[in-house]
């Protein structure tokens, strides 16, 4: 199974590079030629696929913004920068993070359908399987420098751990319902993102707790406001309380915020160790001598 998926990823990488090469403009032709030249030397189908995905931003163009965006691209330290300074870079980052999440979801669904043809009948097996899949997906996203997808998957893993703990302690009837699941997921993802940014900015350890409390408050208030509006739009009376079926849900939301902040701090401090060290266009450009030097070296 793994060998077949690896071969499928390798075939997809060559098709993706060919598609990129057919649609890139002349100003970026040199980059896509280098991308295609490096592809056969990369070992492993999945690495080739990530390398091919890494070249997708070369295709995108926005007409009159092309020249200005090409100057912004040259100022970027690397093609996969997760802290973009331009609207074009923000769009690149959003699309690639969304593509990473879609690819993870498809792979997880394919694996579950293969390993569990009759479905995940036991809630314990289902929760553990999805939580582990989210954890592995977060590590994979970090390895290809897709921080946005890593934050979402790490928050989903934190939510799975907390909900599994509450279901094991108080039964499967607690922390149930749409508002409860959305609130726990929102608190975990917000806490992971906020704590990772706090850790990267070098703030004190107390700021991580502030990030967790802020994420808990935003998730509680936001979910109540959203579902209160939806309840009122469907003809029911407006309400801001009694959305959750039990009192344990509030503690579960708080637990997701605390655990998410801890995971986010770990990602911000040591997440770089999972990043694959691949050559980028910037390093290749620096390693090659400029054209003027080559002409001066000729006899």
Q: pLDDT tens, 159-200? A: 999 999 998 888 888 888 778 888 999 999 999 999 998 888
pTM: 0.63
> What whole-number percentage of the chain has pLDDT above 70?
75
Give the tens place of pLDDT for each residue, 81-140.
444 455 556 777 888 899 999 999 999 888 888 888 877 788 888 899 999 999 999 999
Query: Is residue 66 pLDDT above 60, yes or no?
Result: no
Least confident residue range of 6-20, 133-147, 180-194, 212-226: 6-20
End-to-end CA distance of the chain: 57
Q: Average pLDDT of 187-215?
A: 87
**What length is written for the chain?**
299
Query: Is residue 1 pLDDT above 50, yes or no?
Result: yes
Q: How far apart are CA 135 and CA 141, in angstroms?
A: 10
Task: State residue 259's pLDDT score.
Answer: 95
Query: Is residue 64 pLDDT above 50, yes or no?
Result: no
Least confident residue range of 142-146, 215-219, 275-279, 289-293: 289-293
> What whole-number percentage of the chain has pLDDT above 90?
26
Query: Is residue 55 pLDDT above 80, yes or no?
Result: no
CB hemisphere CA count around 148 (13 angstroms): 18
The residue with tokens 């149930």 is 176
Q: Average pLDDT of 199-209?
A: 79
Give the tens place of pLDDT for each residue, 242-257.
667 677 888 899 999 9
Burial code of 182-201, b = ≥16 C-beta within 10 A, e = fewer? ebbbbbbbbbbbbbbbbbbe
Task: State residue 14's pLDDT score.
Answer: 83
Report CA-CA distances (Å) from 35 to 45, 50, 112, 282.
15, 12, 34, 12
Task: State residue 241's pLDDT score.
Answer: 61
Long-range contacts of 127-131 (CB under 8 A, 24+ apart): 127/160, 127/163, 127/164, 127/167, 128/164, 130/156, 130/160, 131/156, 131/157, 131/160, 131/161, 131/164
The band of 269, judged by pLDDT with boundaries at 50, 70 and 90, is confident
Task: State residue 81's pLDDT score.
Answer: 45
Query: Is residue 285 pLDDT above 60, yes or no?
Result: no
Report CA-CA distances (Å) from 36 to 10, 17, 18, 70.
13, 6, 8, 20
């Amino acid at each position: 199974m793994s060998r077949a998926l690896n071969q499928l990823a390798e075939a997809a990488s060559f098709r993706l590079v060919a598609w990129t090469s057919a649609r890139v403009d002349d100003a970026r032709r040199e980059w896509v030629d280098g991308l295609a030249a490096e592809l056969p030397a990369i070992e492993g189908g999945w690495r080739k696929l990530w390398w091919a995905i890494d070249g997708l931003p070369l295709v995108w163009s926005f007409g009159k913004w092309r020249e200005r965006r090409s100057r912004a691209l040259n100022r970027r330290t690397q093609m996969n920068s997760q802290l973009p300074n331009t609207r074009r870079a923000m769009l690149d980052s959003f699309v690639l993070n969304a593509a990473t999440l879609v690819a993870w979801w498809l792979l997880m669904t394919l694996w579950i359908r293969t390993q569990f043809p009759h479905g995940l009948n036991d809630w314990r097996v289902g929760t553990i399987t999805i939580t582990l899949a989210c954890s592995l997906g977060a590590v994979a996203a970090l390895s290809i420098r897709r921080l946005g997808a890593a934050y979402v998957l790490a928050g989903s893993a934190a939510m799975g751990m907390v909900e599994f703990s509450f279901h094991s302690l108080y039964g499967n009837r607690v922390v149930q319902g749409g508002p409860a699941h959305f609130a726990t997921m929102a608190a975990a993802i917000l806490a992971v993102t906020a704590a990772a940014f706090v850790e990267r900015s070098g703030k004190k350890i107390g700021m991580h707790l502030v990030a967790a409390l802020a994420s808990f408050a935003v998730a509680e208030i936001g979910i109540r406001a959203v579902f209160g509006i939806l309840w009122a739009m469907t003809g029911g009376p407006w309400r801001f309380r009694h959305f959750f079926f039990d009192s344990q849900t509030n503690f579960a939301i708080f637990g997701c915020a605390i655990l998410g902040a801890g995971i986010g701090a770990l990602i911000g401090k040591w997440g770089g160790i999972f990043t694959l060290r691949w050559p980028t266009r910037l390093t290749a450009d620096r390693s090659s001598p400029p054209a003027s030097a080559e002409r001066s070296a000729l006899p």
